[in-house]
Chain A
Amino acid sequence: MKWYILRRVVQSAFVLIAVTTMIFVLSNFLADPAVILLPEDAQKEDYERLRHDLGLDRPAIVRYGIYMKALATGDLGESIRRVGYKVTDLIWTPLGNSAKLALAAMIFTVCTGLPLGIIAALNRGKPLDYISRIFAVAGLVTPGWWLGIIMIILFSVKLRLLPAAGTGDIKHYILPATVLGTHAMAGLARLARSSMLEILDSEYIKMARAKGLPWRTVVWKHALRNALIPVVTFSGLYFALLITQAITIEVVFAWPGLGRLMFDSLGSQDYVVVQGTIMLAAFIVVMFNLLVDITYGWIDPRIRYT
């Protein structure tokens, strides 16, 4: 297991280096930040001066070195719009907010998606199966922003039960978490259903029944643990995505998270902040991937020992 973890860590490090390099290449060659920053009527000299100030006139390889070195020390640069602010400082609070929202959404997802999928599998071909599948498909095809607006109208404006915007106590989490988690819930339900069905057809489930174990032991002990293997993978990856891809939902609910920060920075063309957020997102995805693999090894002994 030690070797297994070590191997995964090294692999993750390589992935991170590749991703950061790619981000560097993209943000440096596809768009010229100096052009973005200058007013439309700027002169050629202004342009050159700005490029020099930003360090853009140095050879790409040197800039790459500086960039990677800064990254390694956790420095993501300074905002070019909000002068004097480090990107890391700008990111910190939104990251916390996003993580809290994502966690709430994840709890919602697992608490709804998993039972939905399992109920569907256990009632294969019966009405309950169809109902839960319709539910799941509906969740998959409903756009998040649309659902968000509908829920705000219903629960905040009409019923006045829940706050519509901002963060605060637990009530503030309910709407955005539900909306954010709905999509994942649908995916998780489908995944849980199909993996549960496959397992219920397996020989070892037949064996567990042949031993005379009651149906609930067969399902909740023998089948569930195996069904959890793909579910864990999914949840881990999805959690990372939730934190990073929550832009629309955060905008709809005026949630002061990373998505909002990115959205605002895009609006003001603050490329350093955008780049920093993407980098952070990549880091989070890779880290969760690693975490998933390790959990996976813990649940499934076949992986642990190879």
Chain B
Amino acid sequence: MNDKDVILSVRNLQTHLRTRRGVVKAVDGVSFDVRRGETLGIVGESGSGKSMTAFSIVQLLPRVGRVVGGEVIFNGEDLLKKSPREMEKVRGKHVSMVLQDPLTSLNPVFRTGDQIAETIRHHLKDAPDPKGKAVELMRQVRIPAPATAYRYYPHQMSGGMRQRVLGAIGVSCEPEFLIADEPTSALDPTIQAQYLDLLKDLQKQYNLTIIFITHDFGIVATICDTVAVMYAGKIVETGPVRDVFQRPSHPYTEALLKSLPSLEEKPKRLPSISGQPPMPHEMPTGCRFAPRCPYKFDKCEEYPPDTHVSPTHISACWRSVK
């Protein structure tokens, strides 16, 4: 655990969105470190701020969004202090991102292959054959007949094919750091496994660092080193994947793991967490999971501190405070 290894350190990140009903604290004091060559998985509730955390790092927030506090230290520099011009140089080449929605993230009026080649042309000025490289990338992400598919417009591709084009763009310029926001949500298990293999290869080849946002715990168990679980704008638990999945410490993590359907059996009903997640403008003041937590007790009226369960495993739950 040498501090020099840390390629990205996010400290107390706070991102607010101004909406009609008031300010939404989409990311509310998030901190984590990612070491070079490792993979951090982020899982958690829909709408808990996973994507907003990612967009805060690369500064691509929606118009209503602002980072209001914290630091994002990448290779020793605070990205939040960089000008828009300087950020253009960081994105794509150093930190690249795969967006979540495969259906709307490609430009409808350009050929998909050209959208890959464009990125290569821009960042790798001396690449001999950007078009050929784009075709090769399409082959690597298992798009059938890549030379023909190069000429397809987005609407001619299936959801999963478009997602693979996004995935190809993400790794096209050999980035140091990849933020992949649910990059396999529209893929079937075999193609998904092959994309994960590709990422692992790149990691071996040149020590690529990855943040992998997903709802799929199987993926996290397969390729992530550490995992962070988010609920309502905060990280509620983080640690090595094995520790977190085998000995979950936060009740939300525990409940999530219980909701997973299995291939082996068919229950009458799937267990799920009772109640609804809190509305963004009506956050509980104490622990945000308290209204739905089976273990709730009087202390939970106050927000719990981040507590070490082990040197690497942290949970924000009063039950862990000894």
Please list the residues of chain A having a beta carbon within 8 angstroms of any beta carbon in chain B. Answer: 124, 201-204, 206-215, 217, 222, 225-226, 299-302, 305
Interface size class of B (residues with CB under 8 A): 20 to 34
Q: Within the assembled complex, what's the spacing in Å between the Cα atoms of A209 and B91? A: 8
Collect the chain B residues with CB atoms within 8 Å of residue A212's CB: 88-93, 96, 119, 122-123, 173
B101 in contact with A214 (CB, 8 Å): no
> Which chain B residue shows the least CB distance to A218?
B88
Check B101 against A203 for contact (C-beta < 8 Å).
yes
A210 to B155 CA separation, bound complex (whole angstroms): 21
What residues of A have a CB within 8 angstroms of the CB of B62 in the complex? 201
Measured CB to CB, the closest approach of chain B to A3, in angstroms, equals: 17
Q: Does residue B84 face the partner (Cβ distance < 8 Å to A)?
A: yes
B105 proximal to A (CB < 8 A): yes
A214 / chain B contacts, CB cutoff of 8 Å: 88
Q: Pick the contact of B109 from A210, A215, A225 — CB < 8 Å?
A: A225
Shortest CB-to-CB span from A285 to chain B, Å, is 27
Interface centre among A201, A210, A301, A302 (most CB of B within 10 A): A210
Q: Is the CB of A207 within 8 A of B105?
A: yes
Is A211 in contact with B105, judged by CB distance below 8 angstroms?
no
Flag if B84 contacts A215 (CB, 8 Å).
yes
* Binary CB contact string for chain B from 119 to 162 against chain A (1 if under 8 A, 0 otherwise): 10011000000000000000000000000000001011000000
A203 touches B105 (CB 8 A): yes
Evaluate whether A206 and B88 lie within 8 angstroms (CB atoms) in the complex, with A201-B63, A301-B155, A302-B153 already known: no
Q: Cβ of A206: which chain B residues have Cβ within 8 Å of it? A: 60, 99, 105
Instruction: Let me know if B259 is at the binding interface, CB within 8 A.
Output: no
Rounded to whole angstroms, the CA-CA distance of A222 and B91 in the bound complex is: 17
Which B residues between 80 and 108 are near A, CB-CB below 8 angstroms? 84, 88-93, 96-97, 99, 101, 104-108
13 chain-A/chain-B pairs, Cβ below 8 angstroms: A203-B105, A207-B169, A211-B118, A211-B169, A212-B96, A213-B92, A213-B118, A222-B107, A222-B110, A225-B110, A226-B108, A300-B108, A301-B108
- Look across to chain B and name the residue whose beta carbon is closest to the beta carbon of A306: B155
Closest-CB distance, B66 to chain A (whole angstroms): 14
CA–CA, A209 and B108, complex, Å: 16
In the complex, A24→B106 CA distance in Å?
A: 50
B166 in the interface, Cβ–Cβ < 8 Å? yes
Distance in angstroms between the alpha carbons of A212 and B108 in the assembled complex: 19
Going nearest first, the 4 A-B pairs with the smallest beta carbon separation are: A212-B92, A212-B91, A203-B104, A301-B153
> Shortest CB–CB separation between residue B153 and chain A, in angstroms?
4
The reply to whether B109 and A207 contact each other, CB–CB distance below 8 Å, is no
Query: CA separation between A207 and B107, bound complex, in Å?
Result: 9
Q: With the chains together, A247 CA to B95 CA distance in Å?
A: 59
Contact of A207 with B99 in the complex, beta carbons under 8 Å: yes
How far apart sit A42 and B109, CA to CA, in the bound complex (Å)?
67
B99 touches A210 (CB 8 A): yes
Residues of A within 8 A of B156 (CB): 305
Question: Does B42 have its Cβ within 8 Å of any Cβ on chain A?
Answer: no
Q: Does residue B58 face the partner (Cβ distance < 8 Å to A)?
A: yes
The answer to whether A301 and B89 touch across the interface, beta carbons within 8 angstroms, is no
Count chain A CB atoms within 10 A of each CB in B93, B107, B156 and give the residue with the most.
Answer: B107
Per the bound structure, the CA–CA distance linking A212 and B87 in Å amounts to 8
Q: Which residue of B lies closest to A124 (CB)?
A: B63
Instruction: Give the residue of A210, A225, A300 whose beta carbon is less than 8 angstroms from that of B96.
Output: A210
CA distance A208 to B62 in the complex (A): 14
Shortest beta-carbon distance, B269 to chain A, in Å? Answer: 35
Whether B91 contacts A211 by the Cβ 8 Å rule is yes
Smallest CB–CB gap between B204 and chain A, Å? 25
For the complex, give the distance between the alpha carbons of A210 and B93 in Å. Answer: 10
Compute how far the CA of A222 lies from the CA of B106 in the bound complex, rounded to whole angstroms: 10
